[in-house]
Copies of this chain bind each other. A is one copy, B any other.
């Protein structure tokens, strides 16, 4: 046993609520009196059908998803969605509009160009214009009216950037497709503004292995039968999410997380806590007299992934080493960016943020 609580600041796979892990532990060998584990039950049996149904219903309730949207639990993470959205929706269109605002949207932009004849148009370039210190404002996006869709990543984990105002979207524009992996369920959004929302589970939903896709029904008509069924949204919808064996256990875990979030008061409540956690942490950075730095434009600072550094690479390394010894895990920044990164998703309790701030202040006293 550790002598102090462990707080896990991993960017993903990320911390899960302890009560969720305890439920999973208790039910590991016997789910709900079935005598078998969720891992070993047929995905086509009644027990798993009920798990999947409730997971979907609870997600619909939490996000207030309109009835004309379908919900799927797929595999392959956001990386697979980069290609699936083009395969399914771009056929017959001259271009796709891609907003680049950080590491992941840049990867998406490059990957979308594969396996398609459709031109992938760079609708905004946050690297060129802001060196990834700010997000390109929505009003500045160069949208083609006849584009197949507009793609963007609403929160960038690597650079710690976020569209703090959720885009409001006109029905006259091409459908807006959003990678919401690293902030889904962290704040209220109006699903009706989006054509598609997708999210890898391993930040705010559950363990790695499941990918949530929320898709407006009319877009399903675009899914060509030339797209292999395993990557075809329409095929999955037509088979009620059972085209092939889904990642049953990650979906079960997602369902437990959804119920936990409902017990916290839902998205509206967790949003207030998330805002407070982020404010405390950015305040601690800003009030350190320059010892800790975050150079993201204030209006684009991520509420989920707080990046910071000292002015000394060796000191950053010392911070990371010592933080682990104090129960603060996985604070190392993304390799290409360096420094520190505290991911403070829904399941990170306020006490974890407080412990981090206390450690930061203590560290500064010793090395500042």
Contacts and interface: CB of A to CB of B under 8 A. Distances in A.
Interface stretch (A17-25, A170-178, A188-196, A359-367): A17-25
Given A29-B21, A36-B329, A43-B208, A13 B245 contact: yes
Best-surrounded residue of A35, A83, A200, A330 (most CB of chain B within 10 A): A35
Nearest to A207: B39
A79 B244 contact: yes
B208 A248 contact: yes
Contact of A114 (B228, B244, B245): B228
Best-surrounded residue of A10, A15, A36, A41 (most CB of chain B within 10 A): A36
Interface of A: 2, 6, 8, 10-16, 18, 21-22, 24-25, 28-29, 35-37, 39-43, 45, 75-80, 82-83, 87, 111, 114-115, 200, 202, 206-210, 226-231, 243-250, 253, 327, 329-330
14 contacts: A6-B35, A8-B41, A13-B42, A13-B43, A40-B207, A75-B247, A77-B244, A80-B230, A80-B231, A87-B115, A111-B230, A202-B248, A207-B248, A209-B248
Nearest to A334: B44
Contact of A39 (B21, B228, B329): B21
A29 B18 contact: yes
A51 B178 CA distance: 33
A247 to B, nearest CB: 4
Contacts of A228: 82-83, 111, 114-115
Nearest to A26: B25
| Copies of this protein, total | 2
Given A82-B230, A114-B228, A8 B36 contact: yes
Nearest to A86: B228
A11 B79 contact: no
Contacts of A246: 208
A253 B243 CA distance: 24
A41 B10 contact: yes
Report the 6 A-B pairs with minimum CB-CB distance, sorted nearest first.
A209-B247, A6-B35, A25-B28, A39-B207, A79-B244, A83-B228
Given A22-B29, A208-B245, 20 more contacts: A6-B35, A10-B42, A11-B42, A13-B39, A13-B40, A13-B43, A21-B28, A21-B29, A21-B39, A35-B327, A39-B206, A43-B208, A45-B330, A75-B209, A76-B244, A79-B229, A79-B243, A207-B248, A247-B250, A250-B250
